[in-house]
Every structure is written in C-alpha cells, then in structure tokens.
A and B are shown apart, each in its own frame.
Chain A
Amino acid sequence: DQQVKQNSPSLSVQEGRISILNCDYTNSMFDYFLWYKKYPAEGPTFLISISSIKDKNEDGRFTVFLNKSAKHLSLHIVPSQPGDSAVYFCAASTSGSARQLTFGSGTQLTVLP
C-alpha cells in the first residue's frame, strides 16, 4: 500500500504557464515533505521542502503548499520553463531518529516551448 501517491504519471504545460504537481499521503505521522527533480541518467536532486508546521514554502519560481487536513501537497512552478522538464518525486518522512524517506511514483513534467 503506497503511503505517498502521485496520481498523475505525466503533465504537459506550455512555457510561461503554471505547472501544478500533486501529491497525496495516507500516513498522518508524516511531518516533513520534500520534492525532488530527476533528469534522465541522473540521480534525484532536492528541489524544495516543507515542514508540517507550515502550509506554504517558496523558493524562487517554486512554491510548495501543504494541506494537512486533506493530506495533500502540491508543487507550483511559475513560470514554467523548458528546462523544468523532468520527473518530479514527492517524498515524506516522519519524526524520529530514522527519518527515512517514502517516495511517490513520480510525475513526468514536460514544458512545451
């Protein structure tokens, strides 16, 4: 049973428009959420994170929103650029000494020029 779900395997967006990637989770113990970006033949790279004590975190063109009651988070990219085309993974972890990451299955974002 996947505890972190990304229900959209792919998303296409026009350059300059907003990209919205969604992620749902089932484990209410998750208190830290991250987004990773992955290009082909490379490892995932950290993009942005949010703690459960916040509902929004911004970093330049990237904003992550967290809705704890709905167990839902989203990543907004504004404006989208062709270089943003990649697979985006949502990940979550719980408090404690282990703090292992649980990943979603990823969403392939394609930004069309």
Chain B
Amino acid sequence: NAGVTQTPKFQVLKTGQSMTLQCAQDMNHEYMSWYRQDPGMGLRLIHYSVGAGITDQGEVPNGYNVSRSTTEDFPLRLLSAAPSQTSVYFCATRTGTRYTNYGYTFGSGTRLTVV
C-alpha cells in the first residue's frame, strides 16, 4: 500500500520550461489536492479535485493547471515555469465527509527549483 506517491522528488527547470508533477494514490480517495510550501508561509492550496472530471482553484492557482481523468491520478502542470514557482509541492488526498472529521494523507513532496 503506497498511499500517495509523488514524482519526481527533485527537479530543476529553466525559466519558461514546462513540466508536470505527478501524483498517484491507491486509496480510492475522491478528494485530491496540491499544496506548495514556502519558507515562512506554511502550506498553501493550489488546486483541488473532489472527483474525476472535477477540479477547482485554491488560494494560489495562477501559473498552474490541473486535470483529473481518473480517481488515482492528479497531475499538476506548470506551463511556463517562473522563479517564483520555486517551492516544495505536496499532493494530498482526503477521506471523510462534511459530517465527520476529514483525514488528509500527504505525499513526500517534490522539490522544484526554477532558475
């Protein structure tokens, strides 16, 4: 049982390059999300999805695209990388309902540097 798997673990991009951060889960959780962690800022929500075919923006969505074609995968795309996107990115799934306590499971992160 792998939980939430993120690839790659590290990546260096040049400004203007594009790339996709992969996130896969084997827990059949409907909800998946992407966060970025920056020094002094905590984790901030980029995009989230409540199920296949449904995505929505979080707090800091600009510069990122997402899609959700399957329950298992939720890739995050950077179409034209900028130095401001240098960060550590975490994918997370969630269990529970609005009437119960939610439980989040995070991946181990992708450290992205844009030069």
Contacts and interface: CB of A to CB of B under 8 A. Distances in A.
Interface residues on B, range: 20 to 34
Interface of B: 4, 33, 35, 40-45, 48, 58, 90, 92, 98, 101-104, 106-109
Contacts of A106: 42
Contacts of B35: 103
Interface of A: 2, 4, 6, 9, 32, 41-46, 49, 51, 89, 91, 93, 95-97, 99-101, 103-106
Contacts, number: 51
A1 B75 CA distance: 29
A99 B41 CA distance: 20
A46 B42 CA distance: 15
A6 B109 CA distance: 22
